[in-house]
Amino acid sequence: MEDRLIIEVLERLSRIEHRLNALEERLRHHEEKANLDKKRRELTPALVRVLSAIDENQGVGYIKAIADRLNIPRNKASEYLNRLADMGFLYKRVNPDPRIKARYIYEIRRENIDEKLRELMEVARNERWRLR
């Protein structure tokens, strides 16, 4: 009798543990989605233009190239690139290529660029070409 009761309690605990794991997974997914939405809300049109310019350059850029391409000061390009790297949209790596006179190279983190942001980048690209 006691063995059966112990087995029943263990089975109930197992089911409860399974439900808790499922709830934790759902909560984690919801938090990740909320973080992505928050990051997207923090994106200004200028940051989207910078992402678009890097994307045009095969997903890689550095401060001088972005400043020249967007016709903005280098300190602003640096600020935008660092902010995008902090937000998780770019990788910031030390430049291994001595031909490029830049300390850091920025590369798009494609896994963090969703379809809505990709559409905004395309609009920014088309707008920039229209203004030239």
Note the pTM of the prediction, 2 decimals: 0.66
| pLDDT score, position 38 | 63
Task: Determine how many CB atoms are found less than 10 A away from the CB of residue 58.
Answer: 9
Higher pLDDT, 44 or 35: 44
DSSP letter string, 53-82? HHHHTTTEE-HHHHHHHHT--HHHHHHHHH
Domain boundaries, the chain: 1-42, 44-132
| CA gap 67, 82 in Å, rounded | 13
What percent of the chain stands above pLDDT 70? Answer: 90
Fold of 44-132: Arc Repressor Mutant, subunit A (1.10.10)
Averaged over 104-128, what is the pLDDT? 87
Averaged over 10-32, what is the pLDDT? 90
Q: How far apart are the first and last CA of the chain?
A: 85
Q: If we measure between CA atoms, which residue out of 78, 92, 86, 104 comes closest to residue 43? A: 86
| pLDDT score, position 76 | 95
Nearby residues of 116 by Cβ (< 8 Å), 6 or more positions away: 40
Order across the sheet with 60-61: list the strands.
Answer: 60-61, 104-108, 90-94
Instruction: Indicate the range of 5-19, 40-54, 80-94 predicted with least confidence.
Output: 40-54
Averaged over 18-27, what is the pLDDT? 92
